[in-house]
């Protein structure tokens, strides 16, 4: 199935920059931060296109953060590998790439419990852990690809913080539950994802929509729920 038409690299920078400065809900990205904030850009899964497009996207993000007074020394990019492997050719694996940006890039290891920290307990009282770098940050900017998965009859969990930045047992639990009872698993995932986002205090979320031939078709930025709704319309 063909996706929407995308734009070239230069236009992609404009698309992302415009989204960051004209959010669908909430303040523009520069207004989310103040000088001295420790900012973590949390990339959940793979982004549209290849390395060149990823670098272009992060250039636009960096410009917006600097406009808010944040130094590159206080920015860190943390990448979580996909929870569910996708065969979508518009999404390429970024986890082994070193971006050409003036801030450190780290790949989250869900198998290393030491990289996570307790965040909250679920309704059953079970502890939920998230990447420590996100828990310790002053500001978390969530970045991910918005996707519709026909096999799930709707929005895919890929591109979202939870369980991308969870321990491996939680990531695997989602995959297993999807195989057993898809609708129930998705409802449970949405509930937990909303709790995680609220507890973490994430107010800035950038959803990217992949276009044909490894391009970017659109971007939606704002409060998490609003950016998801807008991305669905792009």
Query: What is the domain range of residue 35?
Result: 9-110+139-156+202-219
Q: Does residue 73 register a pLDDT over 90?
A: yes
Please give the C-alpha separations between residue 70 and each of 130, 138, 203, 221, in angstroms, as whole numbers: 24, 12, 17, 19
Structural domain count of the chain: 1
Q: Is residue 126 in some structural domain? A: no
Highest mean pLDDT among 32-36, 54-58, 121-125: 32-36
Q: Does residue 163 register a pLDDT over 80?
A: yes
Nearest to 134 by CA among 168, 102, 110: 110
Which band of pLDDT confidence, cut at 50, 70 and 90, is reported for residue 92? low
Q: Is residue 194 in some structural domain? A: no
Q: What is the pLDDT of residues 169-187, one digit of tens each?
A: 999 999 899 889 888 988 8
| Reported pTM | 0.91
Q: Is residue 1 in some structural domain? A: no
Q: Is residue 78 in some structural domain? A: yes
Q: What is the pLDDT of residues 186-205, one digit of tens each?
A: 889 989 999 999 999 999 99
For residue 112, the model assigns a pLDDT of 97
For residue 7, the model assigns a pLDDT of 87
Nearest to 126 by CA among 178, 163, 160, 170: 170
Which band of pLDDT confidence, cut at 50, 70 and 90, is reported for residue 104? very high
Q: Is residue 192 in some structural domain? A: no
């Amino acid at each position: 199935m063909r996706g929407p038409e995308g734009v070239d690299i230069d236009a992609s920078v404009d698309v992302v920059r415009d989204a960051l400065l004209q959010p669908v809900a909430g303040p523009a990205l520069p207004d989310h931060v103040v000088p001295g904030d420790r900012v973590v850009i949390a990339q959940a899964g793979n982004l549209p296109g290849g390395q060149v497009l990823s670098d272009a996207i992060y250039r636009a993000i960096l410009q917006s953060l600097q406009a808010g007074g944040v130094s590159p020394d206080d920015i860190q990019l943390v990448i979580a590998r996909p929870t569910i492997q996708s065969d979508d050719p518009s999404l390429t694996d970024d986890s082994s790439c070193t971006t050409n940006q003036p801030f450190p890039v780290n790949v989250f290891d869900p198998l290393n419990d030491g990289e996570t920290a307790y965040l909250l307990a679920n309704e059953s009282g079970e502890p939920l852990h998230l990447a420590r770098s996100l828990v310790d940050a002053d500001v978390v900017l969530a970045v991910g690809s918005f996707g519709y998965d026909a096999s799930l009859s709707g929005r895919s969990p890929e591109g979202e913080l939870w369980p991308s930045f969870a321990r491996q047992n939680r990531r695997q639990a989602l995959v297993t539950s999807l195989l057993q009872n898809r609708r129930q698993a998705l409802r449970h995932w949405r509930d937990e994802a909303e709790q995680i986002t609220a507890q973490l205090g994430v107010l800035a979320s950038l959803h990217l929509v992949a276009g044909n031939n490894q391009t970017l078709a659109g971007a939606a930025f704002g409060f998490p729920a609003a950016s998801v709704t807008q991305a669905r319309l792009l």
